[in-house]
Amino acid sequence: MIKDRLVHYSKLVGPHGDSLASLFRFQKKPNSDYPKIYLPFDSLLNHKSRLIRNTHRWLGEFLTREDIFEVQCTLACHDVPELVDGDVSRLAASDLQSESAINPLIELLLLPDDVTRYRDFLVAEDFLEHNGVSIPDSFYSLIARMMDTIDGNYFAFALLENYAIKVWGDDFDSDLQKMLDRSYAYVNKMRLRYRERIALLSEYYDVDLDGILDHLQKVEVEKIDRFSETIEAQGYRTASLV
């Protein structure tokens, strides 16, 4: 059961004493404005649990029960390596690790059958975001990466909305506006890139990846638009998603 995997990974402790419940997303950023904007905290365990729950909600009409389970298994293990390396910002991500460069401690933390899932997830990330030439063995890893990306995007905007509300009535926060401009530009860039890359695989897998991506991106628009309405009401400039 997927719940058993989630419980297993929630109990792991990394070499630095971190657990998925104590590692928080969006906290290690290169810009000084991030720490005060990205509150409240979102733990990796919350992120993982949210993704597993939403897989069935968002994709129940597209995938079989078995397919949903496989996507959930990938999502259950995809961020366990951050117990070793720490949370990596998507907005500040550097070149993807090659498979040969994976820290051996990571594979010790993963369940044996999740090592392959994790490696394929890296291939999917590389294919979708870095124009990688290798095609993932399974479409599960591609869908998991789509889900992971969209969750990261809309939760970031939830935190930005929270900060905009907190500073309402204060002087205009130029740092927040810069972060908003950069976030909208980043999300739109990735939305277009994902479409371009998934279109290359239309005949490769026996599943409608184009339709799945289109559906997930519509979910993303609905969620981010809600946050944008509140942010705009606080006097900040927003943008439409493509």
Asked whether residue 240 is domain-assigned, the answer is: no
How far is Cα of residue 185 from the mean position of the Cα atoms in its chain? 17
Q: Indicate the average pLDDT of the chain.
A: 85
For 184-233, write each residue's pLDDT tens digit. 999 999 999 999 999 999 889 999 999 999 999 999 999 999 999 999 99
Of 101 and 66, the structure prediction assigns the larger pLDDT to 66
Question: Would you place residue 27 in the very low, low, confident or very high pLDDT band (cuts 50, 70, 90)?
Answer: low
CA distance 186 to 90: 10
Q: Does residue 93 register a pLDDT over 60?
A: no
pLDDT at position 211: 96
Question: How many residues are recorded in the chain?
Answer: 242
- Give the chain's domain count: 1
Q: What is the CATH number of the domain that holds 109?
A: 1.10.3210
Of 86 and 91, the structure prediction assigns the larger pLDDT to 86
Q: Which residues on neighbouring strands pair with residue 24, listed in sequence order?
A: 43
For 121-158, write each residue's pLDDT tens digit. 999 999 999 999 999 999 999 999 999 999 999 888 98
Q: Could you give the percent of the chain with pLDDT greater than 70?
A: 83
Residue 178: phi and psi, rounded to 5, are: -60, -40
Q: Does residue 3 register a pLDDT over 60?
A: yes
Which has the closest alpha carbon to 154: 198, 130, 124, 184?
184
pLDDT at position 111: 92
Q: Does residue 58 register a pLDDT over 80?
A: yes
CA distance 184 to 224: 10
Tokens standing for residue 100: 């040969």
CA distance 156 to 42: 10
Per-residue CA distances from 46 to 10, 79, 187 (Å): 10, 12, 22
CA distance 136 to 125: 9
pLDDT at position 28: 53
Asked whether residue 238 is domain-assigned, the answer is: no
Q: What residues make up the domain containing 207?
A: 2-233
Asked whether residue 242 is domain-assigned, the answer is: no
Question: Would you place residue 26 in the very low, low, confident or very high pLDDT band (cuts 50, 70, 90)?
Answer: low
pLDDT at position 45: 87
What SS3 string covers the chain?
CHHHHHHHHHCCCCCCCCCCCCCECCCCCCCCCHHHHCCCCCEHHHHHHHHHHHHHHHHCCCCCHHHHHHHHHHHHHCCCCHHHHCCCCCCCCCCCCCHHHCCHHHHHHCCHHHHHHHHHHHHHHHHHHCCCCCCCCCHHHHHHHHHHHHHHHHHHHHHHHHHHHHCCCCCCCHHHHHHHHHHHHHHHHHHHHHHHHHHCCCCCCCCCHHHHHHHHHHHHHHHHHHHHHHHHHCCCCCCCCC
In 10 A of CB 49, how many CB atoms?
17
Asked whether residue 241 is domain-assigned, the answer is: no
CA distance 72 to 221: 23
CA distance 173 to 155: 20
pLDDT at position 121: 96
Asked whether residue 140 is domain-assigned, the answer is: yes
CA distance 39 to 207: 38
CA distance 72 to 68: 6
Asked whether residue 35 is domain-assigned, the answer is: yes
